[in-house]
Structure formats: C-alpha cells, structure tokens
Chain A
C-alpha cells in the first residue's frame, strides 16, 4: 500500500517538476493573486478630492478645514468663495466632496450656541459615500471639543470602540476571504487535471491493469498537491501578514490544521471532477467554475451571508470556504481557540470526508 502511494507521489512530483509552467502556476499564482486582489480589493477610500467654501474666514473655520486635510483622507482640490459653482465641480468630477462653512460659524461657536457646517457628498457611489461620511463625522466629533474649549456634555453619547480591527481597514476583513478563495481555486485546479490527464494520454489503461488500488492512486495523486498547496498557503499567509498587516493573533498550529482540512476538501473535489471529465479542458473549466463562483459569492468573502436571501443562505452551507473563512477570521483576527471555531473545523472535516469518499467511489469505477 505505502509503496504504491509513494511510487505515485514521487511520479506526480517528478511530472510536476518537468511541467514547470504548472508548477510555477500552482506555487506562484496564489501569491500573485493575493497581491493583485489584496491591493485592488479594498473598501478603504483615501485622497478624496475636497472642495472648500470657507465663508467664515476665521481661525475657528480654518481649524476645521485643517482637521479635514490633516486626517489623511482628504486633499483640497478647490477653494471657493460661495457654494454656487460646486455643482459644476461635482459634475466635472474635480471634487468628490465639499465642505461649506457658513459666515456666522465663528460667531456662533464663540457664543457657544449650536452651529452647523455643511458637508456635501457625491452619492452616486453609495458605498464610497457612506465611508466618506463616516470619516467626516469622526473628524467633526474630534474637533468639537477643541472648538468650544470645553468638553462636550450630552445626556448620553455612543462611544464607538472597534475591536480586532480598530482602524476598520477593509484589507484585514478581506484578506482571509481572499486567501480562502485563492487556495480553493488553486487546490481544485491542481488535482482536477490529475486523473483526466492519464485518461487522455492512455496511461490510465495501463494503470488499470496493474494491481494498484483506487485509494492508493487517490492518495498518491492528492499528497503531492497537498504538499505544494501547503507551501503556497504558507507563503500567502506570510504575505498577508507582511503586506496587508493582517495580524496573526492565534496559534500557527491551529491555523495549519484548519488550512490542511480545507485544502484536503479542495483537492478531493478536484480529484472527483477529474474522474468525471473526459478531457483536461473540461476538467479545468469545471474545476474553475465550481470553485470560483461559490467561493466568491456564497462564502461570506465579500457579501455577508446574513444579508443573503434565505435560500442562498442554505446553499452557502455546502461551500467549504464559508467555514474556512469564519475559522480563519477567528484564529487570525481574534486569536481564539478551537472552542470558538471548532464547529467550522468539524464542518470542514465533514466536507473533506464526503468529497474524498465520492472521489474514491468514482476512482474505483474508473480504475
């Protein structure tokens, strides 16, 4: 048994070594994808083009403008005397937001009475507008105290305190999902070609005439890719930490265990596809489609599962990335132990078992 698994593993690794393009793709693609998507996929907004209409022209009003510019989120693109030309500037996309400080601003603040400033936003991209509005509120709140030279006293006040991701950086939220996405796609593709390639080249027929058993062939074809996928998973995690400041607060051992469980499921699914498809091309397309779409749409990677329609929420239960992403966020961001993400790990074990069982059944039939 071990001899045959070993012989197949060595053979697969040698073939992978000869086929350097595939090897490079399997090892390098996750890293490249992580960098491309990691930088591209961000809900953070910076360098917002700001138009400033300061009709007060006082020290107090200048302090407000300064606070906006110093926050790092805004750059001043236009300074105007009145607010009428703002519309044209928005249409021309010269500015994305405008700050209008009324002439009586200083008078009202020194009188310690209620006052307001106007913050105008381009709402055509609601996602961005929401984020920018959040920044603006934060700046105004932080300025209020210094403007009035006294502490703001209100009946009650909600003090937002964000845990685990205090800066609300979207990369910290997105990168674990991105990791799951990349690892799922690359592990499924890795093995999707493994069996069908033998069928296409005619070597399957010769293998069938040897005493090799389905489970031996399955293990021999899964183990080498588990090795390759583990290496690229480790590389991707390292990059996530180094480039995107994703803190790894939990235990690396648990991280490895959960990742291996997830990879086993992906590789098993690839083998299953490989036993179904008759050509490498079909296997590749099936592998890509069945790993990419569910992981992208139904795993909670980008769209929160809780806001999906009930039917889709049900479907999302058979998407392994759902459990991996949840476990990953728990381990990486919160640093919690298996008592929290144990359920996800069990789900991953169940998924991997079912998929590997299906693959074995199919392998028995094609062997």
Chain B
C-alpha cells in the first residue's frame, strides 16, 4: 500500500532523510518512531506528495509519489503535526469544509458526517467551536476529517501530541478499528507506549532507518543477554563505572535509573559490589523485559559505533 526505496531528502547541506526503504501492507499499523528532527515528518511529507524527494522513489496506493501527487491526494487522509482544524469554525462547519475539499457532498456527506459524529462522540457538541473543545476531542475530530472521503491510507504525524493518556488510549482504539476495517495507518510518534501498539515499527534516527520489524523481533536484539534495571545514587556518574565492567554489553541512563544490557543475569552481583565500593550505595537492581526504548537506545548506539569504525 505504501512503499519507499532509497528515499532521500536534502535541505541544502543537511540530509534530513537518508536512503530510507520500507514496505507497508494494506491494513497494517505502521509506526515511525524517532526523536524530534529524526526525519519522520519529512518522510510523511514526501509520501503525501507535499515534498519532492531528492533521490529515491516511493509509491502510495499504487501511485508514484514523484509524478502522481494529485491521484495520491485523493486517496490519502493526512493529519498534520500542527493543528489541522479551523478553531474558529464549529465541529459541523469543519466537517462540511473538509468534506468539500474532497468533493464529498449531498447524501454521501450526510452519511459520512453521521459516521464522524458517532466516531468522535461529539453528538451533543456539533455546534461548538473547535476552539472550545478539549484536546482529545479535537484529535478525534481531526482524524475523522481526514477520513471523510474513506481513503485506503491515512498518514498521522504525531497525532496525540499534548493530549492526556486517557484520550491517547481512546485515539489508539480508533486506530485499531480503522486497521480492522482494512485502512492502512502510517503513524509517527515519539511515545514508546504508542509504538508498542503498532504492528511493525521503524526506528529512525538522524535521517536513517535503524531498524524495522515487529516489536517481538526488535526486542530479540537482546537475545544474547538481558536487561537490568539498576537504582542507585548519582546514576549519571555511576554510568561511567558500569561500561568497563566485564559482562556489561551496554549501559544507558533511563530516567533516574540505569539500564544495563548484560551477558547473564548473574552479573548483577558483580555490579552491586562494584557500585557500592565506588560509593553509589544503596544499590538495587532487578531484571526487566527489554522495552522498546531499550531497543531504540541500543540501535542508536550501534549505529553511532558503526559510523566511528
């Protein structure tokens, strides 16, 4: 449904997206994970025909992104990072305008409006100004506006920014429903918990695609070891003492804890002893299942080490 081959975009000297390739199947929830500036939005903008690739190619719904932008725009829904509704229009007026831009009108519009109102739960607020809606409702309304013409693919660029966790959960329930109906969902996020709900996740860093797989597969890069969650005093300082210990593959700061990738859980004893003698007591540690964030940090580190060598 969506594919990219060696997709590259330069902004002057800066390489925003560097030879990114992937393939997204119909009905898939495809997550693009990365920090701000990793190049996620640039990839989406190229796929939607808003930006011409410097090199490489891609297709959306079977159309070439470089030459068939007009056909693509008729077949995609797009929810941008910035607010994609008119705050000074009501719920109803927004629906009517966005439907108009997709030439959805008459009976078809009435049907889609009924669907949108039901999906967003805005039945009693149809004549409320969008400016007066809580964030969660706005995001759902923006999603429904992007879906009025029933596109087979929808691109969501950090759709849940600034929304509370409960609203985020509800939003992702909607994404699951869409996927069940066969809609391909291409979503970028920097929330790890959201990425866990994707069928497959692409990890992006500094314009490069570091890894792309299902969550369980991605976590397999830890097959050779396990992850220890370590709690101690001055975690940031303690980090430097961990790297040199035998049996520690990798260590990283994780909030105010440390996460260490070790060859075997038994290494924990040695770590305890070492940190306590170095003055970081009290030390507590427990083995934890690797999270997506561990995968992410590990991937970035490997990529950076690979670049140095």
Which residues of A are interface residues toward B (Cβ below 8 A)? 3-4, 6-8, 10-11, 14-15, 18-19, 201-203, 205-212
Which residues of B are interface residues toward A (Cβ below 8 A)? 48-50, 70, 73-74, 76, 78-89, 93, 96-103, 105, 129, 155
Question: Are A11 and B73 touching (Cβ within 8 A)?
Answer: no
Question: Are A205 and B82 touching (Cβ within 8 A)?
Answer: yes
Question: Are A7 and B100 touching (Cβ within 8 A)?
Answer: yes
Question: Are A4 and B48 touching (Cβ within 8 A)?
Answer: no
A15-B89, A203-B85 given; A211·B96 CB < 8 A: no
Measured between alpha carbons, how far is A4 from B149 in the docked complex, in Å? Answer: 14
Question: Are B70 and A211 touching (Cβ within 8 A)?
Answer: yes
Question: Are B84 and A3 touching (Cβ within 8 A)?
Answer: no
Question: Are B74 and A211 touching (Cβ within 8 A)?
Answer: yes
| Contacting residue for A203 out of B49, B83, B100, CB 8 A | B83
| Contacting residue for A208 out of B50, B81, B85, B97, CB 8 A | B50
Q: How far is the CB of A21 from chain B (nearest CB, A)?
A: 12
Contacts of B84 in A (CB 8 A): 202-203, 205-206
| Contacting residue for A210 out of B89, B102, B105, CB 8 A | B102
Measured between alpha carbons, how far is A363 from B148 in the docked complex, in Å? Answer: 25
Q: How far is the CB of B291 from chain A (nearest CB, A)?
A: 32
Question: Are B83 and A210 touching (Cβ within 8 A)?
Answer: no
Q: How far is the CB of A214 from chain B (nearest CB, A)?
A: 12
Measured between alpha carbons, how far is A7 from B99 in the docked complex, in Å? Answer: 8
Q: Which 4 A-B pairs have the closest CB atoms?
A: A7-B100, A202-B82, A209-B78, A206-B84
Measured between alpha carbons, how far is A208 from B85 in the docked complex, in Å? Answer: 13
Question: Are B100 and A4 touching (Cβ within 8 A)?
Answer: yes
Question: Are B96 and A10 touching (Cβ within 8 A)?
Answer: yes
Question: Are A211 and B86 touching (Cβ within 8 A)?
Answer: no
Contacts of A10 in B (CB 8 A): 96-97, 100
| Contacting residue for A6 out of B73, B100, B155, CB 8 A | B100
A208-B50, A210-B73, A211-B74 given; A4·B85 CB < 8 A: no
Measured between alpha carbons, how far is A37 from B79 in the docked complex, in Å? Answer: 49
Question: Are B73 and A15 touching (Cβ within 8 A)?
Answer: no
A19-B88, A203-B83 given; A8·B100 CB < 8 A: yes
Contacts of A18 in B (CB 8 A): 88-89, 129
Closest partner residue, chain A, to B48 (CB atom) = A209
Question: Are A210 and B48 touching (Cβ within 8 A)?
Answer: no
Question: Are B100 and A3 touching (Cβ within 8 A)?
Answer: yes
Measured between alpha carbons, how far is A117 from B82 in the docked complex, in Å? Answer: 81
Question: Are B86 and A15 touching (Cβ within 8 A)?
Answer: yes
Contacts of B81 in A (CB 8 A): 202
Contacts of B93 in A (CB 8 A): 11, 14
A8-B100, A209-B48, A210-B101 given; A203·B73 CB < 8 A: no
Measured between alpha carbons, how far is A209 from B45 in the docked complex, in Å? Answer: 9
Closest partner residue, chain A, to B49 (CB atom) = A209
Measured between alpha carbons, how far is A7 from B89 in the docked complex, in Å? Answer: 13
| Contacting residue for A7 out of B49, B80, B97, B155, CB 8 A | B97
A3-B103, A4-B103, A211-B102 given; A206·B80 CB < 8 A: yes
Q: How far is the CB of B162 from chain A (nearest CB, A)?
A: 13
| Contacting residue for B98 out of A3, A14, A19, A210, CB 8 A | A210
Q: How far is the CB of B108 from chain A (nearest CB, A)?
A: 12
Closest partner residue, chain B, to A200 (CB atom) = B82
Measured between alpha carbons, how far is A366 from B79 in the docked complex, in Å? Answer: 18
Measured between alpha carbons, how far is A211 from B151 in the docked complex, in Å? Answer: 12
Measured between alpha carbons, how far is A19 from B129 in the docked complex, in Å? Answer: 13
